[in-house]
Amino acid sequence: MVGIVLVSHSKEIAEGTADLVLQMAGEVEISAVGGDADGSFGTDPERIEASIRGLEADEVLVFMDLGSAVLS
């Protein structure tokens, strides 16, 4: 199975997009990672890595909202 990780600078955008994908795609393992560790606007590389490792998938696709999220 393929897992999906959604990374956004905003927790609300990541979670909302995950909800939308689940409505459209049905059975897919998905994780949303948004905001910094302290809840502010940004991304947290440790949370992104934990999210990827936490999926029980053979392959993982990671989608990011802005170019700087790739740096994380």
Q: Dump pLDDT digits (tens) for 43-52.
A: 999 999 999 9
Spatial CB neighbours of 59, under 8 Å, sequence gap ≥ 6: 2, 3
Spatial CB neighbours of 65, under 8 Å, sequence gap ≥ 6: 7, 8, 9, 10, 13, 14
Catalytic residues: 9
In this prediction, residue 31 carries a pLDDT of 96
Domain parsing of the chain, residue ranges = 2-65
| Under 8 Å between Cβ of 65 and 48 | no
In this prediction, residue 72 carries a pLDDT of 58
CATH superfamily of 2-65: Phosphotransferase system, mannose-type IIA component (3.40.50.510)
Average pLDDT, the chain: 89
Q: Dump pLDDT digits (tens) for 24-35.
A: 987 889 999 998
| Residue 53 scores a pLDDT above 80 | yes
DSSP state of 41: S
In this prediction, residue 25 carries a pLDDT of 86
